[in-house]
Structure 1
Amino acid sequence: MEKGGWKDISQVLQNDIPHWPNDTPFTYETRFTKEQTGSVNVGRITSSLHTGTHIDAPYHFTNDGERVLDLDINLFIGPAKVIDVSLFDCLDVELLRSFQLERGTKRVLLKTTSEDAPTTFPKQIPLIKPEVAPYLAGLGVILLGVDLPSVDPLTSKELLTHHELNKNGIHILEGLVFADVVPGDYELIALPLPIQDGDGSPVRAVIRPLGKGDGENE
């Protein structure tokens, strides 16, 4: 990444992208060709809203929760701190404290692996303890991003970390790619699509390094 340049940290949406078991896989097809229409190619996609890099709206896990269009887009734009927790299988308050996050940090992005975008859906992911939510909220965090398909164990039905983050006003960004991203301070843009009644949305997530003093007045 060149100094000051934007880096894409999104998974590529392609027909073999990993997806949640039994959920709708992503597919793209050229539905109408230029030869058929006489003027243009027209593509069609089918997908779950939770495949690849995406945000969860609270409605995803609670029936009275906000939907995508209810969310302030400013949640997904601004300073973010990437921290490398790839050596740990359990992410708890004690671990996060060791990174000495500053009060006023608004967006925390957890790098749990040094690998490229996944080619298969994982069988197990690091555990993010629910109690990190009030700790992060106490620092001023409004968005937690992860390079995982979920902030809860893959077999969880209670989704305790989802609910605790929501209770503490922290929104969720999942499926990021940090393979060659070094820890540090960045500017993040990860805008959801304006999907009416959506419980989530794919995003194109990009970051660029923050210079000294950048983002302080956000």
Structure 2
Amino acid sequence: MQKLWDISPPVHTGSPVFPGDTPYSQQWCATIGPGCPVNVSAITLSPHVGAHADAPLHYDASGASIGAVALDAFLGPCRVIHAIGCGPLIEWAHIAHAINPALPPLPARVLVRTYAQAPAQWDGQLSAYAPATIERLADLGVQLVGIDTASIDPADSKTLDSHQVIRRRGLRVLENLVLDDVPEGDYELIALPLKLTTADASPVRAVLRSLPG
């Protein structure tokens, strides 16, 4: 029996959001009662709330919307690497222990855990990827990078250097994952974005599944 890990944070009123982003809110448009057989709600949120996939449009004025992005990168073998307490940037030295010739070949998807426990509030001191780390991962054939913080760039970055690397190298990205209970190792990633035809990102229900055998 293959095991599943749900690596998506709960989304609700009060879920942390990047300062200035639209928080999650919900209102009921219809409720079960006399003359109404169903509950129907309306929700408002930034597509960057919770676990999400950025579209090229998020960091490139002429980039593709998330609905136009191919799904291949969001589904398949991945490696979870721990870099807990690494500091402001995930440098190559923080993840090199999980990328070496003694291990199976590196999958095309890499998720890095930086928190011992994911915070319930916005973290302005979040850990991000060093641009050089993403460059080296891309050199090794990685197609998607993921992280358990709100951004692959520092929260106060105005240049988004790591986002610019994934733009230039054609990588995909997942942010706001929850990897608290996931041991280092290889898994199958399933984290498909919605087909939002004009959006700069999409929420995902990200899960990991143990590999067979």
Q: Provide TM-score, normalisation by structure 2.
A: 0.92
Task: Measure how far apart 1:121 and its partner are.
Answer: 0.4
Q: Would the aligned equivalents of 1:114 and 1:180 in 2 still touch at CA under 8 Å?
A: no
2:70 is equivalent to residue 100 of structure 1: no
Question: 2:194 is matched with which residue?
Answer: 193
Q: Would the aligned equivalents of 2:188 and 2:209 in 1 still touch at CA under 8 Å?
A: yes
Distance 2:176 2:98 in 1: 22
Q: Identity of counterpart residues, as a percentage?
A: 36
**Cα distance change on mapping 1:168 and 1:124 into 2, 3 Å:** same
Residues 76-155 of structure 1: pairs in structure 2 closer than 5 A: 76-89=74-87, 90-101=89-100, 103-116=105-118, 118-155=119-156
Question: 1:32 is matched with which residue?
Answer: 30
Return structure 1 stretches of 4+ with deviation > 3 angstroms.
101-104
Distance 1:86 1:155 in 2: 21
Q: Which sections of structure 1, spanning at least 5 residues, go unmatched? A: 213-218
Q: Would the aligned equivalents of 1:27 and 1:47 in 2 still touch at CA under 8 Å?
A: yes
Of residues 95-104 and 156-165 in structure 1, the stretch that sits farther from structure 2 once superposed is 95-104
Distance 1:92 1:167 in 2: 19
CA RMSD of aligned residues (A): 1.6
Q: Which sections of structure 2, spanning at least 5 residues, go unmatched? A: none
2:68 is equivalent to residue 70 of structure 1: yes
Task: Measure how far apart 1:36 and its partner are.
Answer: 6.4
Distance 2:207 2:34 in 1: 36
Question: 1:204 is matched with which residue?
Answer: 205
Q: Would the aligned equivalents of 1:105 and 1:139 in 2 still touch at CA under 8 Å?
A: no
**Cα distance change on mapping 1:82 and 1:120 into 2, 3 Å:** same
Task: Measure how far apart 1:35 and its partner are.
Answer: 2.0
Matched residue type, 1:110: V
Distance 1:9 1:37 in 2: 40
**Cα distance change on mapping 1:189 and 1:144 into 2, 3 Å:** same
Distance 2:128 2:177 in 1: 17
Task: Measure how far apart 1:97 and its partner are.
Answer: 2.7
Cα-to-partner distance string for 1:105-157 (whole Å, 9 max, x where unaligned) = 200000111214x3110020124211112211111100001001000010111
**Cα distance change on mapping 1:158 and 1:37 into 2, 3 Å:** farther
Q: Would the aligned equivalents of 2:81 and 2:95 in 1 still touch at CA under 8 Å?
A: no
Distance 2:106 2:140 in 1: 6
Distance 1:144 1:205 in 2: 13
Distance 2:95 2:9 in 1: 26
Distance 1:17 1:183 in 2: 27
